[in-house]
Amino acid sequence: MKYLILLSFIAFTACSSNTNEGEEKNEAKNDKPGRELVGEWRNLSMIVRMPDSTVNVPEGKWEEVLGIKPIITTYSEDGTFISEYRTLEDSVFMTSAGSWSVKGDTLTMVERGNANKYYFSIDEDTAIFRGYLDWNEDGAADDHYVGKQTKTKQ
pLDDT value, residue 73? 97
| Residue 19 structural domain | 2-153
**97: CB partners within 8 A, 6+ apart:** 80, 81, 82, 83, 111
Counting the structural domains of the chain, the total is: 1
pLDDT value, residue 33? 67
CATH of the domain at 147: 2.40.128.490
pLDDT, one tens digit per residue, over 51-91 is 999 999 999 999 999 999 999 999 999 999 999 999 999 99
Q: How far apart are CA 131 and CA 44, in angstroms?
A: 17
pLDDT, one tens digit per residue, over 108-152 is 999 988 888 999 999 999 999 999 988 898 988 899 999 999 999
| Alpha helices (H) in the chain, listed in sequence order | 2-14, 21-30, 62-66
Is the pLDDT at 28 greater than 80? The verdict is: no
Q: How far apart are CA 106 and CA 11, in angstroms?
A: 21
Q: What is the mean pLDDT of residues 92-105?
A: 96
Give the DSSP per-residue string, 135-149.
TT-SS---EEEEEEE
